[in-house]
Amino acid sequence: MAQSEQIESGESLYNLYRRGMELLEDGDFAEAAIPLREAARQAPEKSSVREALGRALFRSRHYAEAAAEFEAVVETHPVNDYAHFCLGRALSKTGETKRARHHLALASNLRPERRDYRRYREQLAAARPPSSGAEAQP
């Protein structure tokens, strides 16, 4: 059993978050999601935990789950440019192009100096919408 899978009963929110962040920074994205999921379960109102879990899920290619985490963050912090950016990226990976464009535009407008936000917004805007009006599937 991997170290991160061993969630001790009653382990503190801080320790779970710290361990998850260390694994995330080390590039162990799937492993990072384990303590971060428990931290989010313990404190669903903590946007820093939800954002970190979203990052871990995105990087381990669980795009729909990542989008749900970033969506929770933007619901409580509507001016969090990074959460809007990440939500837009996750939605684009699930084929929800229209919603992705909206969140990438918000992120870009909140922080116009961020070239990476603009680049992803422009890339998605340049993508041809499907002729039927339905969302493109991955």
Residue 27 Cα distances to 2, 23, 60, 130, angstroms: 15, 6, 10, 35
CA–CA separation, 34 and 103 (whole Å): 27
Contact 55, 86 (CB under 8 A): yes
Q: Say if residue 55 is in the same domain as residue 78.
A: no
Contact 116, 89 (CB under 8 A): no
Contact 56, 25 (CB under 8 A): no
pLDDT-based confidence at residue 127 (cuts at 50, 70, 90): confident
Query: In the prediction, which pLDDT does 3 show?
Result: 44
Contact 129, 97 (CB under 8 A): yes
pLDDT-based confidence at residue 8 (cuts at 50, 70, 90): low
Whole domain around residue 45: which residue ranges?
Answer: 11-61
User: Which among 86, 82, 47 has a CA at the least distance from the CA of 67?
Assistant: 86
| pTM exceeds 0.75 for this model | yes
Kindly report the CATH number assigned to the domain that includes residue 86: 1.25.40.10
The pLDDT tens digits of the residues spanning 73-98 come to 999 999 999 999 999 999 999 999 99
Of 128 and 115, more confident: 115
Q: Say if residue 47 is in the same domain as residue 95.
A: no
Q: Say if residue 49 is in the same domain as residue 101.
A: no
The pLDDT tens digits of the residues spanning 25-79 come to 999 999 999 999 999 999 999 999 999 999 999 999 999 999 999 999 999 999 9
Would the CA dihedral through 69, 58, 90, 77 be positive or negative?
positive
Residue 135 falls within a domain, yes or no?
no
Residue 39 falls within a domain, yes or no?
yes
> Which residues, other chains included, contact 89 with Cβ-Cβ below 8 Å and sequence gap of 6+?
58, 100, 104, 120
pLDDT (average), residues 85-114:
97
Of 124 and 31, more confident: 31
pLDDT (average), residues 14-27:
98
